[in-house]
Amino acid sequence: MKTIFISYVKEDELIVYSIYNMLKDQGFSPWIDIEDILPGKDWEKAIEKAIRGCSLFIACLSTNSVNKRGFVQAEFKKALKVWEMIPEDQAFIIPVRLDECEVPFQFSKFHYLDYFSKGGPTKLVKTIHAYLGTGLDIFLDKKNIVIDAAQKVSLVEIAKQPGMKEKVIDYLINSLDLRVDPTERYWSYFTLGELGGEKVKAAVLKGLNDNNEFARQGAKDALKLLE
């Protein structure tokens, strides 16, 4: 599993924990100390091992973190050492600003992402998909994953990968019967509408007879996308 290391300071724990949960819900494998270091473990060695073994390193930057000396700076240094050893065209460090803080000099060479801006969380998900090439298998393994606006973005991004469009379409159609929540059914139909195709059209037309009005609206909106 391609893990994503999340580096942060305790003062930002609340928002960072929400990022961790969001990434898990999106099917990724984020790593954070408060969840992934078991009691009794040597936490410093566990963190070093996690940084060396992760596929991406998210540096959560904020007014709290950039003005604080301590272990988070040590994590940054370890991440930079790993980055120096990987191929030039391979991304590893993603600086993520949590507020209007100044980006530390050592990260000035990397393009940063403003998580607090409009669409920030969605952009982070799309960026990780682009770098890790996440496949649909993650979603197939999570039968109870919630289909919403954010998940729509993820699925559309996955469908853009070679050979994945039909798999995403089949996943959405086959999981429709498992979706009892009208909002999930709405976004399932809408996502199908964005993907297009004859198979999609048949499923969307069937959705026009859905028992729930909101779900039927999803099928109607999807049909407009198909026209």
0.85 exceeded by pTM: no
Q: Which CATH class is domain 137-226?
A: mainly alpha
- Location of each CATH 1.25.10 domain in the chain: 137-226
pLDDT of residue 159: 79
pLDDT of residue 104: 86
pLDDT of residue 11: 92
Q: Give φ, ψ of 187 to 5 degrees.
A: -70, -25
List of residues 6+ apart from 105 with CB closer than 8 A: none
Q: Which residue has the tokens 């090439």?
A: 133
List of residues 6+ apart from 41 with CB closer than 8 A: none
Q: Pick the closest to residue 199 from 166, 176, 156 (CA basis).
A: 166
Q: Distance (Å, rounded) from C-alpha 100 to C-alpha 61?
A: 9
- Location of each CATH 3.40.50.10140 domain in the chain: 3-132
pLDDT of residue 33: 93
pLDDT of residue 76: 87
Q: Which CATH architecture has domain 3-132?
A: 3-Layer(aba) Sandwich (3.40)
Q: Mean pLDDT for each 10-residue chunk of the chain (227 residues)?
A: 89 94 85 90 90 94 82 82 85 94 87 92 86 60 67 78 80 84 91 90 91 91 90
